[in-house]
Amino acid sequence: MVYEMTAAVLYGKEDLRLERMAIPRPAPGELIVRVGAALTCGTDLKVYRRGYHAMMLKPPIPFGHELAGVVAKVGKGVTSFHEGDRVVALNSAPCDTCFFCRHGQQNLCEHLLFNNGAYAEYIRIPARIVEKNTLLIPDGVPFEHAALTEPLACVVHGLEETGARHGDTMVVIGAGPIGLMFMHVAELAGLRVIAVVKRDDQVSTARLFGAREVVQISTVDDAVAATRALTSAARGADAVVEAVATPLTWEWAVDMVRKGGMVNFFGGPPSGTRVSLDTNRLHYGDITLKASFHHTPAACRSAFDLIASGRFKCAEAITGRVSLEQVPEAFARMLTRTGGSREIKTAVVPEGAPR
């Protein structure tokens, strides 16, 4: 019988190590999941670059948070899941009792419980996540597709908070994994999407994920003017989503939205970052500014339904696969972008992982 597993452990800035450790055992209410697939994530890359995340983790700690797999062990008292079940376990769960939870803002829960350790052969799922944010995967849905639930849930939550309606025009600034997901979910919701991108390869990728028009900033003199020119009477978009996380793109977002429109600052710059906004335009333009964070259990279920239904382009979002042993190398490559042009999500598949 095997009692040890391999896991990727973050020790600090750009210090990710493979280690052998004991396979966790479930406490009452918990599950042990054998990982079928875990996905790389922009947040994980940011944490790898900085060496920590104030809310989600403090090193040294097992790394990774987007996963799906098979229940290997069931803790005492668990009745909703059984050994052999295919599941996706989200990376957090709210308490549902604090001020914010009682006000319908579970993403801001004062006691939000996070879970990390997806880049491993096995992962322990805390009881609260088992109870509130673990879902059975239907037959026929690959693990790597189901693992998209967490980032997609953040996007679903963010889109809902823009208040955008069928037929509206939405600008999405940025064509990283989150930006592309925003484009696709907006398209599926019946919105006209304009993408603002940087690189050549992002033009075709943005179109693949639902952008009707694309502005490539390196080919225009004024990205704001070029984007507004694609909207009715050049008045600006009904909603703008910023998914780059720089002061410049935050300012662009405000300049690209129409009067009475909504800006969602989804990309989070580093702590202490400051931006300059035209207060006259904000006030007399009656512009709403919103910043979305994380997800809720309801958004997780909506995202999972999109995946399970086959409507979301999961296969197109998975552009690479690596073994667990290749995870440190994969993150080093992501940091320098030496792995190729169109990289979106990489699936980490442990050797002998369930299918």
pLDDT at 1: 56
What does the domain layout of the chain look like in residue ranges?
4-148+312-349, 162-290
Identify the CA nearest to 189 among candidates 237, 155, 146.
Answer: 155
Which residues, including other chains, have CB under 8 Å from residue 152's CB and lie 6 or more apart?
A: 181, 185, 303, 306, 307, 312
Q: CA-CA-CA-CA torsion for 101, 103, 107, 111, nearest 10 degrees?
A: -30
Q: Which of 244, 255, 245, 256 is nearest to 277 (CA)?
A: 255
Residues 131-157 pLDDT 10s: 999 999 999 999 999 999 999 999 999
CA 301/CA 311 separation, integer angstroms: 14
CA distance linking residue 171 with residue 182, whole number of Å: 10
In angstroms, what CA-CA distances link 122 with 133, 147, 313, 352? 18, 15, 27, 12
* CA distance linking residue 91 with residue 94, whole number of Å: 11
**In sequence order, what E strands does 83-178 have?**
86-89, 92-93, 113-114, 122-125, 134-136, 169-173
CB-facing half-sphere around the CA of 147: CA atoms within 13 A: 27
What pLDDT was estimated at residue 108?
97
Does a cis peptide bond (omega within 30 degrees of 0) precede residue 177?
no
pLDDT beneath 50, residues of the chain: 338-340
What is the pTM for the complete model shown? 0.95
**Domain range 162-290, its CATH number among 3.40.50.720, 3.40.50.300, 3.20.20.120, 3.20.20.140:** 3.40.50.720
Check: CB of residue 54 under 8 Å from CB of residue 293.
no
pLDDT at 54: 64
C-alpha dihedral (333, 177, 130, 325), degrees to nearest 10: -20
What is the reported pLDDT for 339?
43
User: Which structure tokens are listed for 144?
Assistant: 């790597």
Distance in angstroms between the alpha carbons of the first and the last residue of the chain: 21
Q: Which fold has domain 4-148+312-349?
A: Quinone Oxidoreductase; Chain A, domain 1 (3.90.180)
CB-based burial label for 254 (10 Å; 0-12, 13-18, 19+) = buried
